Structure 1
Amino acid sequence: MSEFPYERLRRFPDVEAPNLQAHDATDLLLVERGLAVASDRGLTGAEIVVIGDGYGAITLALADAGLGGLRVHQDLATGRRALVHNAAALALTRNQDADRVSTNTEAGRAGSHPAVGTIFVPHELDAGLLTGARLVLLQLPKALAELEEIADAVARWAADDVVLMAGGRVKHMTLAQNDVLARSFARVQPQRAERKSRLIVAEEPRDVPETPPFPVQATHDSVGTVGALTLAAHGGAFAGARIDIGTRVLLDVLDRVPPGDVVVDLGCGTGALAAVYALTHPGVHVIATDRSAAAAASARGTMIANGLAERVEVTHDDAGSELADASADVVLLNPPFHLGTSVHTAAATRLFEAAARLLRSGGELWTVYNSTLAYRGELTRLVGPTEQVHRTPKFTVSRSIRR
Structure 2
Amino acid sequence: MPRTLNKLSQLKVTKTTKPGLYADGGGLYLQITAAGVKSWLFRYMRAGKARGMGLGPVHTIGLAEARTRALDCRRLLLDGVDPIDSRNAERTAQRVAQANEMTFKQCADKYIEAHRAGWKNAKHADQWTNTLATYAEPVFDSLPVSAIDTALVMKVLEPIWTTKTETASRVRGRIESVLDWATVRGYRAGENPARLKGHLDTLLPKRARVQKVTHHPALPYADLPGFIKLLRAEDGIAARALELLILTATRTNEVIGATWSEFRLDESIWIIPGERMKMRKEHRVPLSARAIALVKAQEDMKQGDFVFPGAKYQKPLSNMAMLQLLERMKRDDITVHGFRSTFRDWAGETTHYPREVCEAALAHGIKDKAEAAYARGDLFVKRATLMEDWAKFAEGD
Q: Which has the higher helix share?
A: 2
TM-score normalised by the chain length of structure 2: 0.25
Name the structure with the higher strand share: 1
